[in-house]
Amino acid sequence: MRVTSVDLSEFDVPGRGRGILDVIRWRYLLRLLVRKGTATRYRNSVLGWTWSYVKPGIQFLMYFLVVGYIFNGNRGIANFPIYLFAGLVAVNFFNEAFGNATTAIVDNRALVKKIYLPRELFPISAIIVAFVHFLPQLAILLVVSLLYGWVPSFAGIGAMLLGILLVAALALGLGIFFAGINVRYRDAQNFVEIIRMVSTWASPVLYAWTLVQEKASGWILHLYMSNPVTVAVELFHWSFWEPTVSPDAELQPHGFPPHFSLYLTAALVICALVLIIGQLTFRRFERSFAQDL
């Protein structure tokens, strides 16, 4: 009996893929997941998408009143509302994207248990959905900046886009890292909540980076400034707040911090490392997703 060999090179091993690269191949499913995420976010809600404006507006108002006026956090910072809101927009994008990506696998357990598709699609779609809901906040920032005399420039728009890229890359790397762990160990979500809570205060959103420079120096300051979220916040400040401030004003943290190009490089390297570590960790845990769920 003659046995003929069959070429199986075109077939994939079930349950295994190429990781994040599979997003390009499965982009149709990615679009479906994004539509599902955006359509169901405010389902059965009276205000609907209005909440995308209300929640950040109330958050900004509370920080502005408490930090800006009660604690005089606005001293030495002209146009403090723009400075504050520009930083909040960047941090809010990180917090929502990171949080959504972490719970993406658990929230879609029905699909994960029944059919095979690259599991990375779920956290990536969560990042995109967070970006969609970030756009209304960005639109408000643009309008308010224009009222304060902001003039758009190619350099400013490029800085903003680079800041968005940094936040998205860091949120994706951390998101897929904790998303994989969260399936088996639900304590991971508590760590994520702590990171999200700290992120607002660990970046120059409610205060100027010069205050950190006064209190800390050496490797502590360099570590603080190398945080990708801090770098993204400073890019947003330079893009939106900096053009609205007179260069003759005193006590203003004008321009980028010293050695900012090194901090930017460090932030890019950190994002790349977090993405690699997150992907490796995710692929290790995804083998037992169906059983753990």
Do the Cβ atoms of 113 and 288 come closer than 8 Å? Answer: no
> Which of 32, 235, 186 minimizes the C-alpha distance to 117?
32
pLDDT of 6 over the 60 cut = no
Q: Would you say residue 188 has pLDDT above 70? A: yes
Task: Pick the range with the lowest mean pLDDT from 103-117, 121-135, 275-289.
Answer: 103-117
Task: Give the pLDDT confidence score for residue 276 in this predicted structure.
Answer: 93
What does the pLDDT look like over 241-275, one tens digit per residue? 988 887 665 555 667 788 899 999 999 999 999 99
pTM, full prediction: 0.85
Residue 239 — very low, low, confident or very high, per pLDDT cuts 50/70/90? very high
Of all residues in the chain, the percent with pLDDT exceeding 70 is 82
Per residue in 118-150, pLDDT tens? 888 889 999 999 998 898 889 888 888 888 888
